[in-house]
Chain A
Amino acid sequence: MSHRDHHHDHDLEPVREAISRKTGREFWRSLEELAGTDKFRDFLHREFPALNAPETDPSMLDANGRRNFMKLMGASLALAGLTACTRQPLEHVVPYVKVPEGLVPGKPQFYATAMPLNGVASGLLVEAHEGRPTKIEGNPDHPGSLGATDVFAQASILGLYDPDRSQSALKLGDTRTWGDFLNELTGWIETQRPKGGKGLRILTENSTSPTLASLMALVKKAFPESKWVTYEANTRDGARMGAPTIGGKPANVVYKFDQADVVVSLDADFLTNGPGALRYARDFMKKRKLTDGSNEMNRLLVAESTLTTTGAKSDNRLPIKAGEIDALARVIANAVGVSVAAGGALSAEADKFAKAVAADLQAHAGKAIVIAGDHQPASVHAIAQAINAKLGGNAVAYTAPIEINPMDQTAGITELIGEMNAGQVETLIIIGGNPVYDAPNLPGQKDSFLNAMKKVAHRAHMSLYNDETSAQCQWHLAEAHYLESWGDARAFDGTVSIIQPLIQPMYQGRSSLELVAAIAGVNGKTTLDLVKDYWKTQPQMAANFDQSWKQALHDGVVAGTKLSEESAQVDAAKLAAPAPGKGGQYEIVFRIDPTVYDGRFANNGWLQECPKPINKVTWDNFAIISGATATKLNLSPNKDPHHANAKMLSITVNGQELSMPAWVQAGHPNDTVTVYLGYGRERAGSVGNKTGFNTYLLKSTGAIAEAKLAAGEGSYQLASTQEHFAIDASGIDSKAYISDENDLADRHIVRAGNLEDYKKNPKVIHKGAHLPPDPKMTIFNPEQHKYDGYAWGMAIDMNACIGCNACVVSCQSENNIAVLGKELVTRGRIMHWIRIDTYFRGDMNNPEVYFQPMMCQHCENAPCEVVCPVNATVHDAEGLNTQVYNRCVGTRYCANNCPYKVRRFNYLLYGDWDSPSLKNVRNPEVTIRSRGVMEKCTFCVQRIMNGKIEAEKQNRKVADGEIQTACQTVCPTDAIIFGDINDKESRVAKLKTEARNYEVLAELNARPRASYLAPIKNPNAILGGGASSHGSEGGHGNEGQKSGEAKHG
């Protein structure tokens, strides 16, 4: 191969050289001259030299090269196709709920479908305008959604319209048809057929699709010697291999958080991560809602290796190295009477925590859950399940596996690399995924998968993007987006959803089912046929197929497919203690990124610009370390309290070195570094290329490894959207923040307390807080404006908010909010209408964390309104603070005068007005703002108007809950409630009468329409916790734990 590479370079070098020597006016003439040379004539003759080589020439794939030209051509074609008329799916899809007689232009329709991530479906309702999907909502009938979605589902609509998506099949970079590929594929598999498929390997991502399973079975039948490997970076191997078994297969664990009074998380971020997270968050929060007279809460005890959203919601939290979780789990297990071998030594603090957790678990036997993190080894999961078996009661259930190929994925891909290196693989079909980028490296090696794959003679890769893996395969096949193709997938509890397309494939994408069918020799079937054929044979649908098929499409779930609970056996062998580590000084933990996932969403601007929970950094990944570790490594804390300019940290794992910015995170354990995967991509697309650092270079087969850390050279600008986090200043470098504790605590922005105090006196959280002035004392007469009709308001339950960002992306999608890019975010111009303010309190080694979703508060005495010289921001008759874009001149005084700083200014023309495909992603009901105007949250005025129009047509008032804002609908925990506060029976009005209700900065007398319900913690009696002391002092926060000496920042 290298010989051919050289050959190429010889071809082009002299020509390039000759051109590069010429400049300016000379240039055109010189082309003619060049054409006269033999070399150039030769070059022209072989118009596409890359065709002659099995290896793709990297220079031809350069972003500035022919590829870009092709992209432009493709975009122009897409424009021609899309602007003329939107392509309706030819196949029959059934609208959800409303079945209009023909389409009513301007009226959106909702279709049920599902998005698989890590194979597991979350049910969706997709809003389509005239056949053009524009917005994702959760499907209330789907058990994994209950109406909520996560950030990934929200942002997937942008992924659908991504102009960088692959648009056709490519052979060595040249456009080919699907038929061309099938011809070649036939050749490949026919040579395999006599051998029983001995040299055939199919590599897929994790999947739960029953149809795919049936097709794979056909492949196996035709090629019994072939192998099917499943791998994706988020392997969940520990969870799978540590799970109890049913019939020899690893069981699917289903947690029922609504039945648990005590939840112990062993490094699990179960509220925002993993299958069923949305449902789990909903169920978990159900037990914490202190509304409607409830006074009881569950308790969440978290031991974790980095501060996650789950840790932020914990009542007691222990920062601990990921590698010590195993030992911690063993102490807990032994203390609750599950006998396991002892693990390594624990610190006194961890030991105390373990004992307290054990006591709490025992006290709540039958109503307890222990859940381990996906990246934790199988032993931790096994111990957790052993404890659950003893104490979990009904809260933990097991079903048959939902995954169609449950295997040890790391072992599987490692074996595949071995086989490829040994030359045993002749044909490799990779369906989805991006293993060249994200497969594990064998210890001490680089590009293990790539080097092995190059030894495979025939290789094809089907994916949404022409990515790192595609570039290294002879064939790249454009995959259809899940919103353009049929399919099926199971939810976390086994319930099947039919994935129905919202739109005909925009490009020449094909589904993975079609590809597998082709390998299996099933010809002449569309994807829809394949899915239907499978379900026709299934008992749930067989009886009255047409009817049940329609019903399944309509509901978004296939009735009767939920897997039944079975008893599972905990394998005692799995409880054995793992071999002790070498005891290296530092530990590194690789985690799936909360915004770009494993890198597959790297080209999604919404996700790139979505501030990561806790640290609020966008567009980058970084190495998260504790303050003490930073000091130890001599990464002197930044003098500037705004520490977005991070020092570089050099990380060496197995001889591979990577230098990346260090982020000092309060609450992170010492001597360990957490890095997110998914960045530093080379071929993600125009948005995702070259953002962040490729941490896969460091990653071998384990998510937890030993690392050498050293101070790196220089510093790096990170784009953080929030530069200050502390709500009080204990433990913070007070010089940097120039504040004593009261400076921030006296603002009472977050009023928090603990359950014990709350039960005694629910008003305790307001102690010391400032009240709005007496109406008689102010010239702002509260009776001046009467709201006789509706009065829209919002209540946000900070106890329920888990900081998952779903509302942020949902708002972005609903309201056509622009993406800015890293540089402008760094300048402080992010456009999000809703943001999750994060505040820390107490000991900076292990702070309490509070999330406060902040959007326009729609003040009745709005400070923004009086100062606008042109009346561009005015109040409406229902109490909405409206922004008239057309009227706005852009003096920005309103934003200066807004105490909540929720107004966003279009300093430049931010929106992408030119990419034709991106025109389709926008919500036609919301104006696209041009440069020079102010914008902000409208309480989704377009939804309010729709709701009012519907109600008026029926000559009635809008019912409570009929109008939901975009942030409200997606919220997994029902933290945001919107409605008419004039209606005393509405949910929002009732919440506003709760004792926990307060208005942020109430003393300014702006009289915001949005109010907050104070968060309450329920700490363990033995462990105590900062919240208790704060609560009794009414949120002053000036007596929080002061043990922390670490400097923050």
Chain B
Amino acid sequence: MAEVKSNYVDQRPPMIGGKYDLKTMTTKLMDVVFMRGFQKGWMFGFAIVFLGLLMMANTIGYLVLKGVGIWGNSSPVFWAFDIINFVWWIGIGHAGTLISAILLLLRQKWRNSINRFAEAMTLFAVACAAMFPALHTGRPWVDYWLFPIPNTMGMWQNFRSPLMWDVFAVNTYATVSLLFWFMGLIPDFATLRDSAKQPWQKMLFGMLAMGWRGDARHWSRYESAYLLLAGLSTPLVLSVHTIVSFDFSTGIVPGWHATIFPPYFVAGAVYAGFAMVLSIGIPVRKFYKLEDFITMRHIRNMCKVMLATGLIVCYGYAMEAFFAWYSGSTYELFMMKNRMFGPYGYMYWLLILCNFLVPQLLWVKKYRENMWVIMTVCMFINVGMWLERFVIIVMSLNREFLPSGWRMYYPTPFDFSMFFGTIGFFLTLMFLFIRFVPMIPIFEMKTLLPQAQVDEHKVAQIEEAKNDGKEPLGGSQPVPQFGD
């Protein structure tokens, strides 16, 4: 066989490790789903997070029964944990779409091993997020009034209100994310259907696979639909958090009313999202021994994204302070002073520590390869992003225009049980997802195998040889197809 040298030599670590062929990879990734019984570790973890889910359910029950007064919200801090948590969860949900859609469009193939996982995270985070605005209203049973449903009550919505925009933005985002996720799962459901031994599994996965046969036409349509959805969700990545930021920036509250909010919020969301992907991905990778699929290259890339978006966020912090000074407005100036040196000042400096200082460790290559360091940094960022919303929401509201209305905010146990409850809910869904659905897209991973690497030169030579009537080079091995 003649040696043909590629012009380009990829010196980066491989996107996939170990020695897998198409069959072993499929088996390895399906094993988690088809495993009989439950591992002890999974059971233990699930028990804990399920308790969190129960705590949330209880809190919600009591909340609907009694009213939002069980929380610590007051006057002037009419929004507190409810909206902090909403924005925090929505932010976390951002990595999924970014990884699935934008990186797909940019042909970043390394995304293949983490996209399903990140999408699932997005969905679950959005579910957690949506619960807060729905339940924080005084009368949650009339939440449907926020939707423009034709009715006999002669009511119509106020489309000037950013909360209206928010309803549409979040709903669109949730819908598209769900479609995107489910669509990506169809070929894998088909693989599962074909490999399943239990009749009920065949039945279930068969239904979910929606008649997928791996037909070339299926693939063709799948590819174009997936690309379209990616195109659709790309602006959503930007729009959702932009509109969430409008919830604040259209208000007149000093500390909210700022033009920098949209980009600053979007960057913050991506930042938070990647931190959460890593916070969950690293333990899962370890537990299910998926180091070969989620490689150091992935982790390093994500660290770099975090570093970049983190710096944008910190630029936002700097600009907030600058605008406060530059505006010359006494309210803005005082707001900034209150943030830095007011009674909650320590929260601001903690935020700077979590979101600015600690992540700078990622500049160092050594740290980008140390799982413990990365996990720690991610945890700081998760906390930091929550603090950021606390700083923006509570610390702007608690001391605004009239000093007579100034008042401290103190959360109640129900604020915490709702927050930690949603974390329990989120992790419960993650546990179920990891166990029952292929968390790494099998068919997309196969495209990363050497078998899938279509060597353009070889193909050209084959074509050439065909034309010359000679035997094709490299024998009669067929070109591998997706879905093998």
Q: Do A and B interact?
A: yes
Interface bin, chain A: 35 or more
The listed residue (A747, A829, A869, A933) touching B138 by CB distance below 8 A is: A933
- With the chains together, A570 CA to B397 CA distance in Å? 60
Q: Report yes or no: B403 in contact with A888, Cβ–Cβ below 8 A.
A: no
- In the bound complex, residues from chain B placing their C-beta under 8 Å from that of A887 are 145, 155
- In the bound complex, residues from chain A placing their C-beta under 8 Å from that of B77 are 828
Q: Report yes or no: A723 in contact with B157, Cβ–Cβ below 8 A.
A: no
**Cβ proximity bits B338-378 to A, threshold 8 Å, 1 near / 0 not:** 10011101000000000000000000000000000000000
> Smallest CB–CB gap between A744 and chain B, Å?
6
**Cβ proximity bits B72-116 to A, threshold 8 Å, 1 near / 0 not:** 111111110000000000000000000000000000000000000
- The dominant DSSP class at the A interface is loop
**Cβ proximity bits A894-916 to B, threshold 8 Å, 1 near / 0 not:** 01110111011111110000000
Q: Report yes or no: A870 in contact with B330, Cβ–Cβ below 8 A.
A: no
- In the bound complex, residues from chain A placing their C-beta under 8 Å from that of B157 are 869-871
Q: Report yes or no: B75 in contact with A905, Cβ–Cβ below 8 A.
A: yes
- In the bound complex, residues from chain A placing their C-beta under 8 Å from that of B145 are 870, 887, 889
Q: Report yes or no: B163 in contact with A900, Cβ–Cβ below 8 A.
A: no
- In the bound complex, residues from chain B placing their C-beta under 8 Å from that of A747 are 330-331, 401-403
Cβ < 8 Å to B, chain A residues 434-457: none
Given contacts A889-B139, A890-B137, A933-B138, contact A901 B161 (CB under 8 A): no
The listed residue (A722, A738, A742, A888) touching B338 by CB distance below 8 A is: A738
B45 contacts A by Cβ under 8 Å: no
Cβ < 8 Å to A, chain B residues 197-247: 247
Q: Report yes or no: A744 in contact with B402, Cβ–Cβ below 8 A.
A: no
The listed residue (A641, A868, A901) touching B405 by CB distance below 8 A is: A901
Q: Report yes or no: B75 in contact with A932, Cβ–Cβ below 8 A.
A: no
Q: Report yes or no: A867 in contact with B251, Cβ–Cβ below 8 A.
A: yes
The listed residue (A837, A854, A891) touching B163 by CB distance below 8 A is: A891
Q: Report yes or no: B67 in contact with A907, Cβ–Cβ below 8 A.
A: yes
Cβ < 8 Å to B, chain A residues 98-134: none
Q: Report yes or no: B330 in contact with A743, Cβ–Cβ below 8 A.
A: yes
Cβ < 8 Å to A, chain B residues 129-163: 133, 136-139, 142-143, 145-146, 155-158, 160-163
> Smallest CB–CB gap between B402 and chain A, Å?
6
- In the bound complex, residues from chain A placing their C-beta under 8 Å from that of B161 are 866-869, 893
A574 contacts B by Cβ under 8 Å: no
Q: Report yes or no: A889 in contact with B138, Cβ–Cβ below 8 A.
A: yes
A749 contacts B by Cβ under 8 Å: yes
- With the chains together, A708 CA to B163 CA distance in Å? 59
- With the chains together, A726 CA to B399 CA distance in Å? 13
- With the chains together, A824 CA to B68 CA distance in Å? 13
B404 contacts A by Cβ under 8 Å: yes
Residue of B nearest to A884 (CB): B155
A1043 contacts B by Cβ under 8 Å: no
Interface centre among B69, B71, B402, B410 (most CB of A within 10 A): B402
Interface centre among B69, B143, B345, B404 (most CB of A within 10 A): B404
A785 contacts B by Cβ under 8 Å: no
Q: Report yes or no: A901 in contact with B138, Cβ–Cβ below 8 A.
A: no
Cβ < 8 Å to B, chain A residues 905-932: 905-909, 931-932
**Cβ proximity bits A851-875 to B, threshold 8 Å, 1 near / 0 not:** 0101000000001001111110000
- In the bound complex, residues from chain A placing their C-beta under 8 Å from that of B136 are 891-892
> Smallest CB–CB gap between B307 and chain A, Å?
33
Q: Report yes or no: B78 in contact with A892, Cβ–Cβ below 8 A.
A: yes
- With the chains together, A869 CA to B155 CA distance in Å? 11
- With the chains together, A907 CA to B414 CA distance in Å? 14
A32 contacts B by Cβ under 8 Å: no
- With the chains together, A347 CA to B250 CA distance in Å? 57
> Smallest CB–CB gap between B79 and chain A, Å?
6
Given contacts A641-B343, A738-B338, A870-B155, contact A906 B138 (CB under 8 A): yes
Q: Report yes or no: B403 in contact with A890, Cβ–Cβ below 8 A.
A: no
B305 contacts A by Cβ under 8 Å: no
A724 contacts B by Cβ under 8 Å: yes
Q: Report yes or no: B155 in contact with A871, Cβ–Cβ below 8 A.
A: yes
Given contacts A890-B139, A896-B78, A900-B402, contact A907 B337 (CB under 8 A): no
Residue of B nearest to A902 (CB): B405
The listed residue (B74, B146, B160, B406) touching A827 by CB distance below 8 A is: B74
Q: Report yes or no: A897 in contact with B252, Cβ–Cβ below 8 A.
A: yes
Given contacts A892-B79, A905-B138, contact A854 B402 (CB under 8 A): yes
A704 contacts B by Cβ under 8 Å: no
B164 contacts A by Cβ under 8 Å: yes
> Smallest CB–CB gap between B338 and chain A, Å?
6
Q: Report yes or no: B404 in contact with A863, Cβ–Cβ below 8 A.
A: no
- With the chains together, A907 CA to B337 CA distance in Å? 30
- In the bound complex, residues from chain A placing their C-beta under 8 Å from that of B402 are 747, 749, 837, 854, 899-901, 1000-1001
B457 contacts A by Cβ under 8 Å: no
- With the chains together, A905 CA to B73 CA distance in Å? 10
- With the chains together, A749 CA to B331 CA distance in Å? 12
Q: Report yes or no: A907 in contact with B137, Cβ–Cβ below 8 A.
A: no
- With the chains together, A867 CA to B246 CA distance in Å? 11
B333 contacts A by Cβ under 8 Å: yes
Q: Report yes or no: A828 in contact with B330, Cβ–Cβ below 8 A.
A: no
> Smallest CB–CB gap between B105 and chain A, Å?
33
- With the chains together, A893 CA to B161 CA distance in Å? 9
Q: Report yes or no: B69 in contact with A900, Cβ–Cβ below 8 A.
A: no
B407 contacts A by Cβ under 8 Å: yes
Interface centre among A723, A892, A909, A1000 (most CB of B within 10 A): A892
> Smallest CB–CB gap between B104 and chain A, Å?
34
Q: Report yes or no: B139 in contact with A895, Cβ–Cβ below 8 A.
A: no
> Smallest CB–CB gap between A723 and chain B, Å?
5
B188 contacts A by Cβ under 8 Å: no
Given contacts A723-B408, A889-B138, A905-B75, contact A870 B67 (CB under 8 A): no
23 contacts between A and B (CB under 8 A): A724-B404, A726-B403, A739-B337, A747-B402, A749-B402, A828-B407, A830-B75, A867-B162, A869-B164, A869-B167, A870-B146, A888-B138, A889-B146, A893-B251, A895-B76, A896-B78, A896-B397, A901-B402, A905-B75, A907-B71, A932-B67, A1001-B401, A1004-B252
Chain A interface residues (CB < 8 Å from chain B) = 640-642, 722-727, 738-739, 742-744, 746-747, 749, 824, 827-830, 835, 837-839, 852, 854, 863, 866-871, 887-893, 895-897, 899-901, 903-909, 931-934, 1000-1001, 1004
